[in-house]
Amino acid sequence: SFDTATDDGLRNRALLEFLAATGCRVSELVALDRDKLELDQRAVNPKDGVRIADELTVFGKGSRYRRVFLRMRAREWLERYLRSRKDKDPALFITGRKKEGGSYRMSVKMAQTIVAEAAKRAGLAESVSPHWLRHAAITSWATQMNVPAAQRLAGHRNVATTSRYLGSTDAELKELYKKRFG
């Protein structure tokens, strides 16, 4: 859990929720700029504050764009995080340390550290990384929707790439077989 009374805590929670919801690669996450978030057009009243739409476009691997979708919980945490920011840095996720060129953009390494430390605090035994969250999202999409949908959401050109994320244990395979064929 994060101390969401702090700016870093809000940022870290928003980052985790974003990764879990979108299955984005960590490189896609840290490359995102605030102006790439689409505002919810229903937020016509200034007192509505920052209202994020439920989808956005990310620039990913292979220099390709794709749409990703945000669950309500991820949107709410992103909105809280963005409302707390007073800076003008274009990066969606920032740190307190200025980089060469004057940006406060978060590095891949820092995002990985945030995820790993959150997993440790949660008492998870295994090593958790942004890619682990991506793997979990893709597996969930494939099992709850279908593999072609998971392929598109993951931004994979080839369905074989998506299928690699779906490796079943022998016990899972046996259970599936029994359910289907008795």
pLDDT one-digit tens code per residue, 71-80:
999 999 999 9
**CATH number of the domain bearing residue 15:** 1.10.443.10
Query: How many domains does the chain contain in total?
Result: 1
In a domain, 2, yes or no: no
Average pLDDT, the chain: 86
Instruction: Report the C-alpha gap between 172 and 12 in whole angstroms.
Output: 34
Q: Are 36 and 57 in contact (CB under 8 A)?
A: yes
The residues carrying an active-site annotation are: 25, 61, 131, 134, 156, 165
- Residue 152 burial (CB < 10 Å; 0-12/13-18/19+)? middle
0.85 exceeded by pTM: no
Structural domain boundaries, residue 123: 7-181
In a domain, 26, yes or no: yes
Q: What is the 8-class DSSP label of residue 38? A: P
In a domain, 50, yes or no: yes
pLDDT band at residue 12 under the 50/70/90 scheme = very high
Instruction: Report the C-alpha gap between 123 and 118 in whole angstroms.
Output: 9
pLDDT one-digit tens code per residue, 117-171:
999 999 887 789 999 999 999 999 998 999 999 999 999 999 988 988 877 667 7
Mean pLDDT, residues 32-56 taken together: 69
The 10 Å Cβ neighbour count of residue 120 is 12
Chain-centroid distance of CA 49 in Å reads: 22
In a domain, 73, yes or no: yes
